[in-house]
Structure 1
Amino acid sequence: MIDLNALKFSHRKKEILFDNLCFNLKSGSITGLLGKNGAGKTTLLKLIAGMIFPKDGKVEVMGYTPRKREPNFLKQLYYLPEEFYLPNTSVKFYVKANAVFYPNFDHELMDLQMQKFEIPVDNRLDKMSYGQKKKFLIAFALATKSKLIILDEPTNGLDIPSKSIFRRMLAGALSEDQLVLISTHQVKDVENLIDRIMILDHGEMIMNREILDISEKYQFTTVRDTKSIEPLYEESGPIGSRVILPGNGNSSPVDIELLFNATTSGIKLT
């Protein structure tokens, strides 16, 4: 699905952001892309979508070179940026005008998701709040049934009930030939949704693993005293220490925030 090899990229007159970046992603997953501010998450998404171009190296997505922006590539890709613009038109007209670019667009699914988000189909986009616009675009993105759906900070602007609807909606709307790539700072919003995690740090992909693999190899828990154990990583909390321990043979729910903090602090989890 996505294959990057020896990718190099830098913004004009700035230091190199990516140097020899390599990774591979297959379809059939919801992948979370995490990283600190300035790590290059949005830049990487734009490179994958063909919105900006690498200085060197290989970027191949669904068998296409994104920078060529071929129609057969674009009709299988939907990219929802964090910052977006919507025209002064109605929901119905927007869907009618844009759905035709996606051959697998599911109008019934779009209507269902609009109902779940409680957005009337006769609303005008320019009269909506930021949160309503974001919900509309999320519904549209999933209705395209694109093979690759890229969501940059999708839960920004959503209230708590809408975030819950978003998680259920995304989990139930995908097929095995699709890949959803989510970049977010809101780790808790996707913690029980993603099945693969990628962590970008200083231009390097320091983690690209399935959540199931992590849950089987490590134990995430809270303990009152760490004197009798040797945690791989620990953080002090109000009721004890949050720790990562070697796995005990059973699957453990993954604390993605703790995992992120450990990995970006230099802890090597093999």
Structure 2
Amino acid sequence: MLTVNQLNFNYPNSRLVLNSIDLDFTAGNIYGLFGKNGEGKSTLLKIMTGLLFPKTGNCTLNGHSTKKRSVESLQHVFLVPEDFELPAISIGNFEKVQSCFYPNFSKQQFYELIKEFQLSVTDVISKLSFGQKKKVLIAFGIAANTKLLLMDEPTNGLDIPSKSQFRRVMASAVDENKCIVISTHQVRDLHSLINHIVILDNGQAVFDQSLNIISNSLWFGKPPSYEESNILYQESSFGGKAILPRMDMTETEVDLELLFNGILSEPSKIKSTLKGTDHGSGV
């Protein structure tokens, strides 16, 4: 669906923000795009939508270059940005003005989500809190039913109950014809939601792997003493929790935050354990 090939990007008079990025995003998946602040996550999403142009390399959506911003591409992609401005109109009028640009938009779905988010179609957007405004955009993005849905730090501005609500709503939005990419540095917020992980570090895609492969290959938890020699990565701040090769150990839940820190600290150890299990571009 979306292919990023040998992509390089830098802002004027700055170092490369993205360096030789090769990634494939396919339908039916929710990708977690992780990285520290300033690692190019937002930049990559903007390139995917055609808001920024790569210096070299390509980004194509269903064979169409995103930088051309053709109608054929734009009607199939929606971005929920981290920072945004919305007009001082009601939620209902916002839907009427914007929905016509998306041929698969579902009004029924949109208004059901607005109700789920405890908002009203008569609410004036400019009078809403930042978190409520973000809920309007999230509801619209899901209801647009674009082939590609991009979200940049969608849980910023949401309180704890709203984050749980967000995960529930996103889980219901999964479609075999839709690809969802969620960028965040708050790894815990995507727990139990994503099924594929991409990690950016120092301008490069250092990890690109499905959650299924990770779960089958790695073990997460406090290791028994007889397994300490096999530890790939460990943190005392996690109560001694570590990452080990799973081998014949019982399957555990993937600890996203521990995995993220492990990839940044011990990438070769973890990726060599995964090597041979799958052929993800980041391994």
Unmatched 5+ stretches in structure 1: none
> What secondary structure is seen at the aligned counterpart in 1 of 2:169?
helix
Report the more deviating stretch, 229-238 or 146-155: 229-238
Q: Give the residue type in structure 1 aligned to 2:5.
A: N
Is the 1:64–1:73 Cα contact (8 Å) retained in structure 2? yes
Aligned residue pairs, count = 269
CA separation in 2, counterparts of 1:114 and 1:165?
A: 12
CA separation in 1, counterparts of 2:175 and 2:80?
A: 19
Correspondences of 1:10-29 after superposition (within 5 Å): 10-29=10-29
* Residue 116 of structure 2: aligned partner: 116
After superposition, give the CA deviation of every residue in 1:108-137 in whole Å (9 maximum; x if it has no partner): 111111111100111000110111101111
* Residue 39 of structure 1: aligned partner: 39
After superposition, give the CA deviation of every residue in 1:131-182 in whole Å (9 maximum; x if it has no partner): 1101111111100000000000001111111111111111112210100000
Q: Higher helix proportion, which one?
A: 2
After superposition, give the CA deviation of every residue in 1:210-265 in whole Å (9 maximum; x if it has no partner): 00110000000024758854311100037x41100111344321001000001011
Correspondences of 1:111-150 after superposition (within 5 Å): 111-150=111-150
In the alignment, is residue 6 of structure 1 matched against residue 6 of structure 2?
yes
* Residue 75 of structure 2: aligned partner: 75
CA separation in 1, counterparts of 2:172 and 2:29?
A: 12
Instruction: Give the TM-score normalised by structure 2.
Output: 0.91
* Residue 184 of structure 2: aligned partner: 184
In the alignment, is residue 100 of structure 1 matched against residue 100 of structure 2?
yes
How far is the alpha carbon of 1:94 from its aligned partner? 0.4
Is the 1:224–1:241 Cα contact (8 Å) retained in structure 2? no
* Residue 247 of structure 1: aligned partner: 246
> What secondary structure is seen at the aligned counterpart in 2 of 1:114?
helix
Identity in percent: 40
* Residue 164 of structure 2: aligned partner: 164
How far is the alpha carbon of 1:18 from its aligned partner? 2.2
Q: Give the residue type in structure 2 aligned to 1:155.
A: T
* Residue 53 of structure 1: aligned partner: 53
Q: Higher strand proportion, which one?
A: 1
Report the more deviating stretch, 200-209 or 249-258: 249-258
Report the more deviating stretch, 57-66 or 93-102: 57-66
> What secondary structure is seen at the aligned counterpart in 2 of 1:51?
coil
How far is the alpha carbon of 1:59 from its aligned partner? 1.3
Correspondences of 1:192-211 after superposition (within 5 Å): 192-211=192-211
> What secondary structure is seen at the aligned counterpart in 1 of 2:240?
strand
Instruction: Give the TM-score normalised by structure 1.
Output: 0.96
Q: Give the residue type in structure 1 aligned to 2:150.
A: I
CA separation in 2, counterparts of 1:46 and 1:176?
A: 24
Unmatched 5+ stretches in structure 2: 272-283
Q: Give the residue type in structure 2 aligned to 1:248.
A: M
Report the more deviating stretch, 244-253 or 224-233: 224-233
Q: Give the residue type in structure 2 aligned to 1:212.
A: N
CA separation in 2, counterparts of 1:237 and 1:42?
A: 29
CA separation in 2, counterparts of 1:224 and 1:62?
A: 48
Q: Cα RMSD between the aligned structures? A: 1.5
